[in-house]
């Protein structure tokens, strides 16, 4: 995996929040919207019970299930759906995982961009060597790190290189942070418009973040699910753009109970030349009504995807039909968007041909 520039590892006293060199409005100019119908991705060799996270690396689809006692991490060929590997034991001992494995952070743009498995209870981050795991039929990890207590509530974490990790969500200080394990350094990154909010510590409830790293473009993209915007940073942690999907008021969002807040951004990913935002734009109450609608595939659709370039310009939008989709990943070789339809009890790994 590429190394982050040395400034990212050493210059912690000089890092800080930046207003960025530009901003973009997602609704200017008007772009084409395409409606996409899903195709079931047939899995051979295993029936999934409760998939809750997906990632793709080395032409392998990696699925993490929740509420499954054993073999809850599975790998399938992205070409034919054949099962290549399964393992995972719940527990607190060596080589075991807790009940809460968080959604995988997108790491793209480098030939060795291995996904990280983040155990939320133990705070262990494991960089998974996908190829070696399949060849040896046993988990092989390139790196392992343990987050310190100050990151006890983070929702997303991933290893960037041999000595550095990134974490997002669950911090009152910032939207995301980089951690230098070699030098015991931490840098917290906050958006300018909310970092000096008088109710600073209460923002931990709003800072539930998604993050994506792209090595080819040397970019880090961050979004908080309760805010209709996302920010683009370079590898020196300088904020380059904040992209606003719509206006919002922090105090208003903070005052609302969680079930009345609008869930804006559910997932964020990057490919070689694009940033992809999975947009919901509905409250939990509205989503529950949608899920109870027996004719949901004919009702208003709940999941949309927006594609931007790394300058924050909106390129196109997609409406995902016939389901309720919460996570996504990209098969760049075959130009397919993979996701999980949480409305279905089976055959819920689907893809959209782009």
pLDDT in tens, 111-154: 567 899 999 888 999 999 999 999 999 999 999 999 988 898 89
User: Domain 51-353 in CATH: superfamily?
Assistant: TolB, C-terminal domain (2.120.10.30)
Residue 6's CB is within 10 A of a number of other CB atoms, namely 8
pLDDT for residue 183 = 87
The model's pTM is 0.87
From the number of C-beta atoms within 10 Å of its C-beta (0-12, 13-18, 19+), residue 245 rates as buried
Please report which confidence band the pLDDT of residue 301 belongs to, taking 50, 70 and 90 as the band edges.
confident
Q: What per-residue confidence (pLDDT) applies to 162?
A: 87
pLDDT at 208: 81
pLDDT band for position 77 (50/70/90)? very high
Indicate left, alpha or beta for 340 from its phi (over 0: left) and psi (-120 to 50: alpha): beta
- Higher-scoring residue by pLDDT: 294, 242: 242
Which of 1-5, 59-63, 130-134, 311-315 is predicted with the least confidence, judged by mean pLDDT?
1-5
Average confidence (pLDDT) over 13-35 = 55
Q: C-alpha angle 129/131/136, rounded to 5°?
A: 95
pLDDT in tens, 160-196: 888 999 999 888 778 899 999 988 899 988 765 555 5
Q: Kind of pairing, strands 185-189 and 275-283?
A: unpaired
Q: Locate the domains of the chain by residue range.
A: 51-353
């Amino acid at each position: 995996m590429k190394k982050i520039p040395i400034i990212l590892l050493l210059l912690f006293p000089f890092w800080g929040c930046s207003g960025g060199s530009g901003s973009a409005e997602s609704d200017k100019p008007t772009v084409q919207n395409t409606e996409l119908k899903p195709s079931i991705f047939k899995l051979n060799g295993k029936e999934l019970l409760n998939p809750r996270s997906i990632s793709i690396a080395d032409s392998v689809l990696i699925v993490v299930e929740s509420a499954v006692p054993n073999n809850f991490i599975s790998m399938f060929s992205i070409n034919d759906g054949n099962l290549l590997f399964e393992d995972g034991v719940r527990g607190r001992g060596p080589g075991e995982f807790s009940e809460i494995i968080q959604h995988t952070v997108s790491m793209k743009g480098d030939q060795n961009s291995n996904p990280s498995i983040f155990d939320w209870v133990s705070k262990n981050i494991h960089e998974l060597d996908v190829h070696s795991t399949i060849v040896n039929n046993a988990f092989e990890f390139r790196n392992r790190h343990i987050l310190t207590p100050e990151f006890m509530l983070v929702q997303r974490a991933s290893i960037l290189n041999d000595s550095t990790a990134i974490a997002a969500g669950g911090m009152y200080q910032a939207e995301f942070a980089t951690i230098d394990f070699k030098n015991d350094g931490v840098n917290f990154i906050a958006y300018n418009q909310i970092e000096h909010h008088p109710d600073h510590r209460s923002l931990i409830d709003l800072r539930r973040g998604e993050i994506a790293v792209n090595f080819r473009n040397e970019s880090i993209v961050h979004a908080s699910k309760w805010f209709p915007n996302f920010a683009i940073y370079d590898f020196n942690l300088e904020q380059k753009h904040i992209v606003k999907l719509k206006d919002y008021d922090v105090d208003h969002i903070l005052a609302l109970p969680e079930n009345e807040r609008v869930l804006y951004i559910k997932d964020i990913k990057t490919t070689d030349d694009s940033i992809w935002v999975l947009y919901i734009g509905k409250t939990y109450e509205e989503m529950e009504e949608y899920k109870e609608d027996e004719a949901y595939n004919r009702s208003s659709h709940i999941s949309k995807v927006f594609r931007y370039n790394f300058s924050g310009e909106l390129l196109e939008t997609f409406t995902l039909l016939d389901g309720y989709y919460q996570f996504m990943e990209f098969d760049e070789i075959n130009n397919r968007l993979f996701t999980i339809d949480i409305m279905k009890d089976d055959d819920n790994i689907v893809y959209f041909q782009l």
